[in-house]
């Protein structure tokens, strides 16, 4: 009834294609949900609501002058229970372990492949955290690596071999890609299984199959309390009871 948001569709498609990990999918879903908000705030929800909203409350029968709502009989699926279940399902199963030693070797190789450049530094402590002062026409060291503020003032910086900020960013990207190449599409990626299960359940929720029409009062009682209204007098009493304590009429609805 309500189409799955495109952001969720993209995550599912990329998971099926094996181009993202379960962890990346989980993060993408989190960002999408934060941006979209709850389903009942979507424009597509408002359009679908008109198609399933009844003319009267299915609990108390209020209709013509009542404020009616489309009430789900199931909760909007949360991600965490699916993550926990997927993790439990893998307990006790054996998988080929990640070769961390080989992965570390690859990480070191990526780092060592970058050739450091000769950069300006403090002549006293060799720190790169130096600043040129235009008015004084001197340099000052802002390093606190030794626990105290260096504050050495000098006219000409020394030189030392060190990686630039761009080189460090490049190393981080390459290391991350190396990690992804190692963990992508592993059978023990429980987050991947959890995301597939959550998206499937979200489709069921958005189908509006498990909905009913309730008035504002009955919707409040169902959502926020453990009571139900009497079908005869409207008195609210516990759902576990069958006889209304106010009018003593028997309610056959045990839900």
Q: Which two tokens stand for residue 130?
A: 């130096």
CA atoms within 13 A on the CB side of 5: 22
Q: Phi, psi at residue 136, to the nearest 5°?
A: -85, -15
Residue of 136, 139, 138 lying closest to 121 (CA atoms): 139
pLDDT reported for residue 229? 81
**Domain ranges for the chain:** 6-93+186-224, 100-183, 227-255
In the block, which residue shows the tokens 């992804």? Answer: 180
Q: Which two tokens stand for residue 76?
A: 């909007």
Q: Where are the alpha helices (DSSP H) in the chain?
A: 6-17, 22-36, 43-52, 79-89, 100-113, 165-183, 190-206, 216-224
Cβ 252 vs Cβ 236: under 8 Å: no
pLDDT reported for residue 25? 92
As a whole number of angstroms, the distance between CA 91 and CA 219 comes to 40
Helices 22-36 and 79-89, axial angle in degrees (round to 10): 170
Stretches in the chain below the pLDDT threshold 50:
253-255
pTM for the structure as a whole: 0.69
Distance of CA 105 to the CA centre of its chain: 32
For strand 68-72 and strand 117-121, is the pairing parallel, antiparallel, or unpaired?
unpaired
Q: Which two tokens stand for residue 99?
A: 């070769």
Cβ 101 vs Cβ 242: under 8 Å: no
Return all residues near 179 (Cβ < 8 A) that are at least 6 apart: 103
């Amino acid at each position: 009834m309500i189409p799955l948001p495109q952001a969720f569709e993209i995550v599912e498609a990329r998971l099926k294609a094996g181009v993202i990990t379960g962890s990346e999918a989980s993060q993408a879903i989190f960002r999408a949900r934060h941006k979209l908000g709850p389903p009942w705030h979507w424009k597509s929800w408002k359009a679908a609501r008109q198609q399933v909203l009844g003319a009267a409350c299915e609990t108390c029968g209020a209709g013509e002058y009542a404020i009616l709502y489309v009430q789900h009989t199931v909760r909007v699926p949360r991600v965490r229970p699916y993550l926990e279940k997927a993790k439990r399902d893998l307990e006790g199963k054996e998988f080929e372990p990640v070769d961390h030693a080989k992965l570390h070797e690859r990480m070191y190789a990526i780092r060592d492949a970058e050739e450091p450049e000769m950069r300006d530094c403090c002549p006293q402590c060799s720190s790169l955290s130096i600043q040129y002062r235009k008015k004084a026409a001197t340099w000052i060291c802002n390093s606190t690596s030794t626990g105290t503020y260096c504050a050495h003032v000098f006219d000409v910086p020394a030189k030392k071999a060190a990686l630039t900020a761009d080189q460090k960013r490049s190393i981080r990207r390459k290391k991350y890609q190396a990690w992804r190449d190692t963990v992508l599409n592993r059978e023990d990626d429980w987050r991947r299984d959890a995301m597939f299960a959550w998206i499937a359940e979200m489709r069921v929720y958005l189908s509006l199959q498990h909905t009913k029409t309730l008035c504002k009062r009955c919707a409040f009682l169902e959502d926020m309390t453990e009571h139900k209204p009497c079908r005869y007098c409207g008195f609210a009493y516990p759902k576990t009871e069958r006889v209304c304590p106010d009018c003593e009429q028997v309610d056959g609805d045990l839900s």
